Structure 1
Amino acid sequence: MAKYKFKFESILRIKEVLEKKTKEEISIINLEIENLKKQKEFLIQERNKVLSKMTEQMLKVSDYQSIKMYDNHLEQELIHIEKKIVEAYKTLEKKQKELIEKKKEVKSFEILKENDKENFLIEEKRRELKTLNEIAIRNFDGDK
Structure 2
Amino acid sequence: MIREEYPVIHLVGSMPMRAEAHGLMGFGASGGIPADEEEIRLAVEWLTRRCKPIKTPRHNSYVVKHCCERWAGRYVSNGAMIIAAERCGFRQRRLRNGVNTEIGIDTRRLIRLPESDPNYQRSLDFAGIGLSDAPEGDR
Q: TM-score range by the shorter chain?
A: under 0.3
Which structure would you say has the larger RCO, counting Cα contacts within 8 Å and 6 or more residues apart? 1
Structure number with the higher strand fraction is 2
Task: Give the structure with higher Rg (CA).
Answer: 1
TM-score, reference length from structure 1: 0.18
TM-score, reference length from structure 2: 0.18
